[in-house]
């Protein structure tokens, strides 16, 4: 996979279509918090997750961030931004997701949050947007 060094955009790759890159870019522009997520499909990276607990405003926790364009091999119906973090050392990993849905013409239809989705870094590979819930 060849990604542009600054934009992570498709540079003529084997597995990322320009349609996926465009849909991910459109979904990432929907909310400033989505900027922590990768701009390419099926990539999990280390990131700083805004602290959802009682921490100080603006505090962040180390975590994982994943971007997933669904379904595979067809017109993009949604982009899932999935994140995971440990609230404290030794604690169970918490997960959350935001699913940006597209209508049949490629316009953003809705954005919804999902609590505790199965994380893709544990082998969960959803095939449809509804499998994120």
**What's the distance, CA 105 to chain centroid?**
21
- Is 9's pLDDT higher than 70? no
pLDDT tens sequence across 25-56: 999 999 998 999 999 888 899 999 886 554 55
- pLDDT cut 90: percent of the chain above it: 39
Q: What's the pTM value of the predicted model, to 2 decimals?
A: 0.81
């Amino acid at each position: 996979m060849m990604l542009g060094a600054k934009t992570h955009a498709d540079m003529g790759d084997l597995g990322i279509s320009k349609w996926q890159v465009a849909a991910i870019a459109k979904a990432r522009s929907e909310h400033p918090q989505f900027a922590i997520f990768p701009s390419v499909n099926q990539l999990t990276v280390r990131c700083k997750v805004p602290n959802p607990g009682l921490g100080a405003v603006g505090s962040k926790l180390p975590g994982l961030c994943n971007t997933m364009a669904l379904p595979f091999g067809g017109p993009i119906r949604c982009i899932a931004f999935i994140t995971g973090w440990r609230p404290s050392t030794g604690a169970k990993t918490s997960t959350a997701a935001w699913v940006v849905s597209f209508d049949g013409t490629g316009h953003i239809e809705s954005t919804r949050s999902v609590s505790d989705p199965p994380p893709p870094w544990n082998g969960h590979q959803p095939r449809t947007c509804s499998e994120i819930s």
